[in-house]
Amino acid sequence: MTVRPMVNRDSQFFWDGTRAGELRIQRCNACGARRFPPGPACQSCDAYDRGYDVAAGTGTVFSYVVHRHPPVPGKELPIVIALIDLDEGVRMVGEVVDVSDEEIEIGMPLRVDFNRIDDELTLPVWRRAEEMP
């Protein structure tokens, strides 16, 4: 069993994106401001004209929490959850895999990967990125 995220009109594009292997960031078509989490109206200009950009899928750890308790269905604990600063300038929450709770650190470069759960749902996960040369 997997904890399924809420998919609604505001976030549908995001989940369509992960299914297609894309990390999409909502962008206002009126003023170009990017935002996360997605919402109906632009926080900069109040327009309802929504579009999106496809992110490069790279970012760095802004902060993180290690989830040890309570148990999460279908998950082995601990889970590392990070706030990730994307290179595009938005911050999103994501699960970091293949990095232990002892290794994770602020500023660590990460790269998104996609974990296909089923036909409907693909979850973004984050892995350690190679250091930039």
When the beta carbons of 31 and 54 are compared against Zn ion, the nearer one is: 31
Distance of alpha carbon 96 from alpha carbon 124, whole angstroms: 9
Query: Binding to Zn ion by residue 45, rule CB under 5 A?
Result: yes
Q: Is 111 helix (H, G, I), strand (E, B) or coil?
A: strand
Query: Binding to Zn ion by residue 44, rule CB under 5 A?
Result: yes
Contact criterion met (CB below 8 Å) for 114 and 123: yes
- Pairing relationship of beta strands 50-54 and 24-28 according to DSSP bridges: antiparallel
Q: Work out how close the CB of 48 gets to Zn ion at its nearest, in angstroms, rounded to a whole number.
A: 9
Footprint of Zn ion on 46-65 (CB under 5 A): 47
Size of the site for Zn ion (CB under 5 A): 8
- C-alpha closest to that of 104 among 115, 113, 112, 95: 95
Q: Work out how close the CB of 61 gets to Zn ion at its nearest, in angstroms, rounded to a whole number.
A: 28
Q: What is the largest CA-CA distance in the chain?
A: 43
Tell me the window of 1-9, 10-18, 25-33, 52-60 that interacts with Zn ion (CB under 5 A). 25-33
Query: Binding to Zn ion by residue 7, rule CB under 5 A?
Result: no
The radius of gyration of the chain from alpha carbons, rounded to an integer in Å, stands at 15
Distance of alpha carbon 131 from alpha carbon 125, whole angstroms: 18
Q: Which residue from 4, 7, 12, 31 is in contact with Zn ion, where contact means CB under 5 A?
A: 31
Q: Which residue from 23, 25, 28, 80 is in contact with Zn ion, where contact means CB under 5 A?
A: 28
Residues that bind Zn ion (CB under 5 A): 28, 30-31, 33, 42, 44-45, 47
